[in-house]
Every structure is written in C-alpha cells, then in structure tokens.
A = this chain, B = another copy of it.
Amino acid sequence: MTGSAVLTERWSHWRQRVDDCLEQHLPAAGMEPAMLSEAMRYAVFGTGKRFRAALVYAAGEGLGATPTELDLPACAVELVHAFSLVHDDLPAMDDDDLRRGKPSCHVAFGEATAILTGDALQSLAFDLLARESSGYSAQTRLDMVRILAQATGSSGMAGGQAIDLSGSASSKTALETMHRMKTGALIAASVQLGARAAGAEDPALLEGLSRYGLVLGLTFQVTDDILDETSETAALGKMRGSDRRQHKPTYLTVLGEAPARRAAAQYHQRAREALAGLPMDVTALMALTDFVTSRHH
C-alpha cells in the first residue's frame, strides 16, 4: 500500500475509535434535559474528519502508546473543536447556517440551546481528561487539562476568534498570529496531548511538537481559505465564499491567490521540517501533514 492508503486505513480506524468513545461519554439520547443531550450529540456526530483526534493518535502511537491509551484525549480535543464550531456558527459570530453538510446547531435547536451545547461540551472535555479510569498518572492528566485549557482560552482559540471577528488581521503577520491562536493552538494541543498520554515528558520534544502543530495549523488555515473561494458548497459542507462575504480577512484577500498558494507550500514545508527532527516515529504525522495540503474539502 502507498503511504496515503495506509493513512486512510489508520485514519478510518481512529475515527471509529473516537466516535465509539464519544458515544460512550456523551449524554445518552433522551437523557434529561433531552434537547440539550440531543444537541450535544448532533454537534459532535456527523461527517467530521476527526482530524484533531487523528493527530492525537498519530503523535501518541509514534511514541509507543496503544490506541486505547489515546481515546480520552482524542475525545477531549474533538469535544473542544465541536464546541468551537457551534459557537462560531452563531448569528452573532460567523452566522453560518450550514456545518458539515447539515444545518448548524443553532438552526436545528435554537440559539439558546446552541450556546449551552458549546458550554457543556467544553466542560465535558475537561471532565474526561480528569477521569481516574483513564490509567494515566495524575500528573499526566493534570498536564493534559492545562494544555487543553490554555489552547482553548483567551490566549488560544477564543482569543484567535476574537481577533478574527475584529477584522483587524490585515497583514500576513497579523493573519499568522490570529491563526496560530484560532486554529494552531488546538492542533498543537492535540499532538502534545498524544505525546503526554504516551508518557512523553521531554520538554524539548513537547516544544518541538507544539511548533510543528502551530505551523500545521497555518498550513491548514491557508488551505481552508483557498478552498473556501474555489470549492463548491456541497463539497465544502458550508457556504462557499462565506468568509469573504463577511469581510473577514483571509489569506486570499490579504495576499491574493498566487501568494496564498505559495504560503501554503511554504508552511507545508516548514511543518515537514519541524517533524523531521523529532526523536519519534513521525510516519503517521508526516502523512497527515501531507494530507492537509492535498485535501479538496
């Protein structure tokens, strides 16, 4: 099999694992309050690629962890990612009616429930990481809570979204700062959580993974901006050109298409280089890195 075919098979396996784990830990359908339980499940399950979970598994397995040891952090990053999509789609934020090819959470359940859904998904992520049943040492679980909390908050994802909404990121440097926080922080947290769950404690390795994750986030985002302008809505699962219509700065509007494509290639190369030097098996992470620039939606 080619590297890409191997990745496809592993990724499909990881996706099944994380979905099983999420199924086990989300409130059961019908559990009171039933509408909130249903909305949490709706927001989490669907056609998502589970890219962040795949990064947890790829990093953790590259350091010798078993998939079982990586299920809880994989769930936790997907819960945080799902919460951020629910809140970002709200009318007061990006006002997107379509997400992953189906009506956004607030369209399906109303705004109030969507706000509470995001809040409850965030709490559940930290609850899962702190569980005793996970088999990690207490110190490992605490490190994972802190890594995820910092990636989520005002110096991470929430802060990046605040900058995005302000529309102030009008240079390549400002776009990088914004996307490092908005997208990169959670991607960097994903590979760090995988490594910590595998027992890795070497600060240089964790720092190297974080640097890799941040530039992978930039690769991801510039590719997203290009796809947002050049793909069909059906393939994208959200409205084509929706970022531009909201006058939000993107790599395309700030740089133009050709320079944006060059930036994508440069980030991709930097991510590969950041990986190559790490003292671990990076095969799966390298394949995921290559996927980011080759994807079509």
- Report the bound CA distance from A138 to B116 in whole Å: 30
B165 close to A150 (CB less than 8 A):
no
Q: A126-B149, A130-B149, A155-B27 are in contact. Are A90 and B119 (CB under 8 A)?
A: no
B92 close to A163 (CB less than 8 A):
no
- Report the bound CA distance from A156 to B127 in whole Å: 12
**What residues of B have a CB within 8 angstroms of the CB of A296 in the complex?**
none
Q: A35-B162, A116-B161, A138-B138 are in contact. Are A154 and B87 (CB under 8 A)?
A: no
A123 close to B138 (CB less than 8 A):
no
Interface locus among A62-70, A105-113, A230-238:
A105-113
**CB within 8 Å of B: which of A229-284?**
none
- A161 to chain B: closest residue by CB: B116
- Report the bound CA distance from A92 to B146 in whole Å: 31
Copies held by the complex: 2
- A83 to chain B: closest residue by CB: B119
B127 close to A115 (CB less than 8 A):
no
A119 close to B35 (CB less than 8 A):
no
- A125 to chain B: closest residue by CB: B149
- A124 to chain B: closest residue by CB: B153
- A127 to chain B: closest residue by CB: B149
**What residues of B have a CB within 8 angstroms of the CB of A129 in the complex?**
145
